[in-house]
């Protein structure tokens, strides 16, 4: 690799009891074939994804704490569909399609949060006031006797499976799908120690991007691009000593933060982003007397010692999790950077009709120290690519992706030529193939 | 022009990287015996190994200049190994920092007391031998605003005053003292290389202040230091030379 020096990154041999597993998972044999570019550009493949992925997997719907009371709901869209995820009186969440059985109107016109608590849990279509229960059961048709054929015999809007894990609400359009926890596999064991339920919204943004949703998943699945489009991060993280782990459907990588990339010489002064990380933890960079290469471990030690009095319980986290980025992809479309004090996650949704577009949801949460007031929820913002900044690093990704998509459509580009650092992309495509073509993979003529 | 450096003995404090290394290299290339130090022993070893190609005596070992006793012992060791020192250039710096009072302490210990202790260690010998040349390294940050009010800028300014008065006091002893103030200097592993990546807007705003659209190179500072340190600059004493490619805008009358 193109490095200037060798760097040893200390990782604990084993996790704290009940903590996130640290050990490297064996690399699966995923071959070295091209990933066909058509997967990113073709409408046929997009339709296959709809039929065999989006309607057959558990999907992230929203945050549990956004719907605390009975009658509170999340309205969220996937492809051409929109669903309602509603808190019930018994505390569970029920889901149903956001559509009125009468003339097809959306019961709730736009994505977002709301409540029908004041309507006694009744969803009333705005068009002709057909009324539905909080589980989607048809309750009332105005002028019922003018429908000689009677009410629709199903008696309800088609249900959607809904469940909760990790302070998030999940749903599936597949009524026969395995239970959520089975689907998530290793993920709860890995992420429960972070206690995401102790974190509050700091950012809720949706941006329409001019690329296929998978181009976005790819962009967050390797650190090989750091030296390309995020040069400033070389003085913040070690993009070379990265551990890649592929599990059943999901995968992760572990990136040392508060470290300088071996691609550059160690500077003699404190890199500003690392100083910022120390300051955020309550550590004074000016007081630090050790070498730049010792900051990561010093910061871990400081957080371990000072966490409790800052109201931050790190007891279930391993030392390296106090500094490093543990990045997971929950198949198909959730990418999360989890840190001891915050989570930065992306939900990458396909456009309803155009494979060259997607919706990029940025969800960020920050640990609320014990005893501190739970902050007011941030407002959801929606804009188009390029209208506003989403922060330097994400802007760099966002600037790049439309060009990637444009190039993928070129006659001169056959497919993705991936290296070892991009094993998560191969693993993601393997899982995608499993869903689309079954476990024997694509056949003759398949994309 | 013959600088007359051949056969001289030079100590460069902070000579393992960047400007300091370029100064040490110039001395070695011109035929001087050289002693260097820096905090990191490994980087000193690498630098010594690289400088040996000029076939003069080059020695060095790691030393923390903020530890008065350790640094004094190092200076005595270097002086003895070189059998008396003709040229002293203390370069070490704790670099800038804004916000915490701690930065003032660090800059005082490294940027001020480093050179002061180094001078203290060699000045008696130079007086006895009736000759010596000292070049202190200040900074254009002492002259014009740079990154906000901070210890680095103010304490680098103190070296300009100290250097002038040191030269006045010891002219009669055959010792010349001059000060060089470099502007921003970029090199691999240097702070500006990092800031170019890590604080790109700040970096670019400063590049725009350079008439040639680039920062200095270590060897461009080293040549100015080498001249002032050499017998060729026999009539330069108490001078302050800004070497910044036009980075600073003030006219000196």
> Which chain B residue shows the shortest CA-CA distance from A273?
B198
Report the pLDDT value the prediction gives residue B26, as an integer from 0 to 100: 98
- The closest alpha carbon to B151, from B204, B85, B117, B107, belongs to B107
Cβ of residue B62 closer than 8 Å to a chain A Cβ: no
Q: Each residue of A201-244: pLDDT tens digit?
A: 999 999 999 999 999 999 999 999 999 999 999 999 999 999 99
CB-defined contacts A:B, below 8 A = 55
| Structural domain contains residue B144 | yes
* CB atoms near residue A232 (< 10 Å): 20
Report the pLDDT value the prediction gives residue B61, as an integer from 0 to 100: 96
Q: Each residue of A156-181: pLDDT tens digit?
A: 999 999 999 999 999 999 999 999 99
Domain that holds residue B14: 9-185+217-242
Inter-CA distances, A265 with A224, A261, B178, B187, B188, Å: 18, 8, 32, 10, 7
Q: Residue A52 and residue A55: Cα distance in Å, rounded?
A: 6
Q: Could you give the ipTM of this predicted complex? A: 0.83
Of the pLDDT bands very low, low, confident and very high (cuts 50, 70, 90), residue A368 is very high
Q: Report the residue from A267, A270, A271 with minimal CB separation from B189.
A: A267
Q: Residue A264 and residue A420: Cα distance in Å, rounded?
A: 21
Q: State chain B's maximal CA–CA distance in angstroms.
A: 52
The contacts of residue A391 (CB under 8 Å, 6+ apart) are: none
> Which chain B residue shows the shortest CA-CA distance from A5?
B189
| Structural domain contains residue B247 | no
Asked whether the predicted pLDDT for residue A72 surpasses 80, the reply is: yes
| Domain boundary assignment for chain A | 35-44+186-437, 59-176
- Mean pLDDT for the stretch of residues B112-130: 98
- Mean pLDDT for the stretch of residues A436-441: 90
Q: Each residue of A32-56: pLDDT tens digit?
A: 999 999 999 999 999 999 999 999 9
* CB atoms near residue A387 (< 10 Å): 10
Cβ of residue B204 closer than 8 Å to a chain A Cβ: no
Q: Residue A298 and residue A308: Cα distance in Å, rounded?
A: 17
Asked whether the predicted pLDDT for residue B2 surpasses 80, the reply is: yes
Report the pLDDT value the prediction gives residue A387, as an integer from 0 to 100: 86
Q: Residue A152 and residue A143: Cα distance in Å, rounded?
A: 14
Cβ of residue B100 closer than 8 Å to a chain A Cβ: yes
Interface of A with B (CB under 8 A): 4, 231-232, 234-236, 264-273, 284-287, 291
Cβ of residue B98 closer than 8 Å to a chain A Cβ: no
- The closest alpha carbon to B229, from B70, B77, B47, B26, belongs to B26
- The closest alpha carbon to B94, from A148, A388, A285, belongs to A285
To test the contact with chain A by mutation, choose from B198, B201, B203, B218 the residue with the greatest count of A C-beta atoms within 10 A, namely B198
CATH number for the domain including B80? 3.40.50.720
Of the pLDDT bands very low, low, confident and very high (cuts 50, 70, 90), residue A13 is confident
Q: Each residue of B173-200: pLDDT tens digit?
A: 999 999 999 999 999 889 999 999 888 8
For the segment(s) A59-176, the CATH number from 1.10.287.610, 2.60.40.10, 2.60.320.10, 2.102.10.10 is 2.102.10.10
Share of chain B above pLDDT 70, in %: 100
The reply to whether A35-44+186-437 and A59-176 are identical in fold is: no
> Domain count of chain B?
1
Q: Report the residue from A265, A268, A271 with minimal CB separation from B198.
A: A271
Q: Each residue of A246-293: pLDDT tens digit?
A: 999 999 999 999 999 999 999 888 999 999 999 999 999 999 989 999
The second-level CATH assignment, the architecture, of A35-44+186-437 is Alpha-Beta Complex (3.90)
* CB atoms near residue A393 (< 10 Å): 15
Inter-CA distances, B114 with B14, B18, B85, B131, Å: 10, 18, 17, 22
Share of chain A above pLDDT 90, in %: 92
- Mean pLDDT for the stretch of residues A349-378: 97
Q: Which residues of A touch B99 (CB under 8 A)?
A: 286
- Mean pLDDT for the stretch of residues B99-124: 96
* Residues A196, A403 contacting (CB under 8 angstroms): no
Share of chain A above pLDDT 70, in %: 100
């Amino acid at each position: 690799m193109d490095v200037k020096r060798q760097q040893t990154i200390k990782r604990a041999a084993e996790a704290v009891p009940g903590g996130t597993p640290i050990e490297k998972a064996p690399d699966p044999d995923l071959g070295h074939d091209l990933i066909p570019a058509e997967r990113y550009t073709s409408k046929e493949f997009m339709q296959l994804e709809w039929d065999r992925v989006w309607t057959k997997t558990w999907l992230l719907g929203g945050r549990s704490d956004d719907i605390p009371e009975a009658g509170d709901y999340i309205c969220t869209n996937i492809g051409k569909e929109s669903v309602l995820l509603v808190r019930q009186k018994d505390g569970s969440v029920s889901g149903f399609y956001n559509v009125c059985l009468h003339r097809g109107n959306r019961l709730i016109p736009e994505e977002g949060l709301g409540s029908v608590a004041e309507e006694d849990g009744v969803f009333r279509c705005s068009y002709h006031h057909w009324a539905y229960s909080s589980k989607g059961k048809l309750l009332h048709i105005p002028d019922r006797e003018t429908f000689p054929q009677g009410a629709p015999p199903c008696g309800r809007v088609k249900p959607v499976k809904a469940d909760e894990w990790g302070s998030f609400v999940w749903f599936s359009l597949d009524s026969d799908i395995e239970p959520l926890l089975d689907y998530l596999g290793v993920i709860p064991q890995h992420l429960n120690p972070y206690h995401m339920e102790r974190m509050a919204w700091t950012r809720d943004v949706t941006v329409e991007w001019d690329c296929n949703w998978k181009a976005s998943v790819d962009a967050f699945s390797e650190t090989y691009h750091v030296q390309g489009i995020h040069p400033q991060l070389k003085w913040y993280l070690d993009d070379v000593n990265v551990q890649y782990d592929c599990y059943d459907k999901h995968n992760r990588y572990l990136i040392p933060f508060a470290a300088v990339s071996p691609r550059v010489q160690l500077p003699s002064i404190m890199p500003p982003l690392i100083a910022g990380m120390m300051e955020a933890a309550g550590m004074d960079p000016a007081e630090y007397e050790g070498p730049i290469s010792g900051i990561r471990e010093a910061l871990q030690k400081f957080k371990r010692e000072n966490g409790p009095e800052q109201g931050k319980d790190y007891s279930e986290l391993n030392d390296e999790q106090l500094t490093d980025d543990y990045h997971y992809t929950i198949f198909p479309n959730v990418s999360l950077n989890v840190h001891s004090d915050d989570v930065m996650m992306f939900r990458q949704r396909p456009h309803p009709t155009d494979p060259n577009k997607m919706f990029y949801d940025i969800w960020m949460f920050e640990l609320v120290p014990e005893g501190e007031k739970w902050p007011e929820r941030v407002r959801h913002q929606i804009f188009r690519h390029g209208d506003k900044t989403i922060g330097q690093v994400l802007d760099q990704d966002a600037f790049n992706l439309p060009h990637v998509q444009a190039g993928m459509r070129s006659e001169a580009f056959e497919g993705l030529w991936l290296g070892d650092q991009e094993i998560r992309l191969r693993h993601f495509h393997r899982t995608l193939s499993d869903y689309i073509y079954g476990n024997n993979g694509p056949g003759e003529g398949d994309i | 022009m013959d600088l007359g450096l051949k056969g001289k003995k030079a100590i460069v404090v902070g000579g393992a990287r960047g400007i300091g290394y370029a100064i040490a290299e110039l001395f070695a290339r011109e035929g001087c015996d050289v002693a260097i130090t820096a905090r990191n022993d490994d980087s000193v070893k690498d630098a010594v190994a690289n400088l040996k190609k000029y076939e003069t005596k080059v020695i060095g070992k790691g030393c923390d200049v903020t530890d008065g006793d350790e640094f004094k012992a190092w200076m005595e060791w270097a002086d003895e190994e070189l059998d008396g020192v003709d040229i002293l250039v203390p370069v070490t710096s704790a670099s800038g920092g804004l916000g915490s009072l701690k930065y003032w302490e660090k800059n005082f210990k490294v940027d001020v007391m480093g050179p002061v202790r180094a001078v203290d260690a060699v000045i008696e010998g130079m007086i006895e031998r009736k000759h010596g040349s000292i070049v202190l390294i200040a900074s254009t940050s002492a002259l014009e605003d740079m990154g906000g009010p901070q210890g680095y800028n103010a304490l680098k300014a103190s070296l300009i005053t100290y250097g002038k008065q040191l030269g006045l006091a010891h002219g009669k002893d055959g010792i010349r003292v001059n000060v060089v103030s470099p502007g921003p200097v970029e090199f691999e592993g240097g702070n500006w290389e990092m800031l170019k990546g890590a604080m790109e807007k700040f970096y670019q705003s400063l590049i725009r202040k350079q008439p040639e659209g680039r920062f200095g190179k270590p060897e461009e500072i080293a040549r100015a230091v080498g001249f002032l340190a050499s017998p060729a600059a026999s009539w330069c004493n108490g001078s302050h030379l800004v070497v910044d490619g036009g980075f600073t805008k003030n006219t000196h009358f």
